[in-house]
Structure 1
Amino acid sequence: MSDHQLDLQDSINTYWTERAPSYDAYQQRPERRDLDVEVWGRAWSAALPAAPAEVLDVGTGSGHVARLLAGLGHRVTGIDLSPGMLEIATHHAEADAGPGRTPPRFLAGDAVDPDFPAGSFDAVVGRYLMWTLRDPDAAVKRWVRLLRPGGVVAMADSLWFTDGLGELYGERPEGHLPLADARSIDEVAAALTRGGLVDVVVTPLEEVLELDRIHGVAPGHDVQLQWMLSGRRPQAAS
């Protein structure tokens, strides 16, 4: 990682650690929590192999997706570089533990360069992650390496900053966080293809959009369409 990339990643980690409590509180809103599990459960189930699968949740944040997938019967590992997010995710996992329940395990780890042996997982997932990757092409290539033949990458995201990222993470070096400035979801899909995935599919998440229209979105955000982007590792990938 270059000095510019290291400084930028440190800024990202600090931002999300500071925001972690409010971010998690929003996700845990009782009037929407069960609906989110139902709607997002359908979206993820459509994109992933049948349970139980070995799943890596990159940029897991407070563990929302990891916990949901564990509830669907998958064996999930979540990684993040934000200590604040990992603390909350670990707390939730402890509360989820019980007879017949296998909560996710949460580890410190870099979404761009996860430190696991090749062929460790059946799926790599992430939500609201692609735009904040310092090097999405390199990240996807490394995710493909972690997959078993035929394994799946599934990323849920949207076009959050069509008017520009601004100073969200402070001064951003030229050329870094390339997908933060994406004007079309096709730009995100192209990163999956360049990284080595095949059969890349972009699915609009209409049910999520309807939930957002009814219940609102996080402060500072607009109601807008989100997509599930998925592709698979070729059977003969090296």
Structure 2
Amino acid sequence: MIRPVQDTIDAYWSQRAPSYDDYQQRAERRELDTEIWSRIWSSALPPAPSDVLDVGTGSGHVACLLARLGHRTTGIDLAPAMLDRAREHAAALESPPRILSGDAVRPDFPAGSFDAITGRYVMWTLREPLVAVASWILLLRPGGVVAMADSTWFPQGLGDLYDDAARRALPVAEATSIDRTAEVLREGGLVDVEVTPLHEVLELDRRLGVAPGHEVQLQYLVTGRRP
């Protein structure tokens, strides 16, 4: 079941890649996004340079930003078209992140490879999120940080997004509270789990709008630490 489910997710995001990335690159918002998200990630991560893995990197937004902040960054994803976009953006940087094909649930790296693991808009679309968190803990050095930015995007249900099998396999996707994401991090073995509302992002969305088909809503940064 895992492979067909993940194939469905990957195919959806590959199809969405051009429009999704183009929206993130809008000139009127790009610099403000970079400024705000730089503060958000810097507040959560160890000082640069640190070794950071960005799971579900998509078009590389977070991976490239963290590389610009001086981190040694690796971004992984399984959607081919998203990886193409991420590699294009990375190639334009003086000190680019590595962009690799890889599964956010079971990243294939040696234990203790990273100081931090990040993800933006990833938790809701993870199959087996508890397995993912356990995998991330193994990859972290002692005291390492997990930082996930997300929201409750589909409290009324996923509708026709993905197929029935994929929808049933995503336990966080239809959560009605961000507390569910925090619970997953705790249940997976992280400590000092905290939820921080991202009011700056909310205000920016109110001013400049959000992607077609999305609604303006509060996002959160959910963090935890490896014991």
TM-score, L = length of structure 1 = 0.94
1:134-181 CA-to-partner distances (Å, cap 9, x unmatched) read 110000000010000000000000000011012211122574100001
Q: Which residue of 2 is the match for residue 128 of structure 1?
A: 121
Match of 1:168 among 154, 161, 171: 161
Report the Cα distance in structure 2 between the residues aligned to 1:173 and 1:86, rounded to whole angstroms.
Answer: 21
Q: Which residue of 2 is the match for residue 142 of structure 1?
A: 135
Report the Cα distance in structure 2 between the residues aligned to 1:88 and 1:174, rounded to whole angstroms.
Answer: 26
Q: CA deviation at 1:129?
A: 0.3
Report the Cα distance in structure 1 between the residues aligned to 2:88 and 2:122, rounded to whole angstroms.
Answer: 22
Q: Which residue of 1 is the match for residue 199 of structure 2?
A: 206
Is residue 105–residue 132 contact of structure 2 (8 Å, CA) maintained in 1? yes
Q: Which residue of 2 is the match for residue 45 of structure 1?
A: 42
Q: Which residue of 1 is the match for residue 52 of structure 2?
A: 55
SS in 2 for 1:172: helix
Q: Which residue of 2 is the match for residue 23 of structure 1?
A: 20
- Displaced runs of 4+ in structure 1, greater than 2 A? 172-175
Q: Which residue of 2 is the match for residue 116 of structure 1?
A: 109
Is residue 14–residue 82 contact of structure 2 (8 Å, CA) maintained in 1? yes
Report the Cα distance in structure 2 between the residues aligned to 1:212 and 1:183, rounded to whole angstroms.
Answer: 20
Report the Cα distance in structure 1 between the residues aligned to 2:44 and 2:128, rounded to whole angstroms.
Answer: 24
How large is the Cα RMSD of the aligned pairs?
Answer: 0.9
Matches within 5 A, 1:86-125: 86-96=83-93, 101-125=94-118
2:57 aligned with 1:64, yes or no? no
Report the Cα distance in structure 2 between the residues aligned to 1:105 and 1:174, rounded to whole angstroms.
Answer: 31
Residues 173 and 87 of structure 1, relative CA distance in 2, 3 Å threshold = closer
Q: CA deviation at 1:5?
A: 2.0
Q: CA deviation at 1:69?
A: 0.6
Report the Cα distance in structure 1 between the residues aligned to 2:9 and 2:217, rounded to whole angstroms.
Answer: 23
Report the Cα distance in structure 1 between the residues aligned to 2:101 and 2:25, rounded to whole angstroms.
Answer: 23
Is residue 158–residue 167 contact of structure 2 (8 Å, CA) maintained in 1? no
Q: Which residue of 2 is the match for residue 224 of structure 1?
A: 217
SS in 2 for 1:124: strand
Q: Which residue of 2 is the match for residue 190 of structure 1?
A: 183
Match of 1:79 among 65, 70, 76: 76
Q: CA deviation at 1:227?
A: 0.2
SS in 1 for 2:73: strand
Among all aligned residue pairs of Structure 1 and Structure 2, give the percentage whose two residues are the same amino acid: 67
The more displaced of 117-126 and 162-171 is: 162-171
Q: CA deviation at 1:32?
A: 0.3
Report the Cα distance in structure 2 between the residues aligned to 1:174 and 1:117, rounded to whole angstroms.
Answer: 31
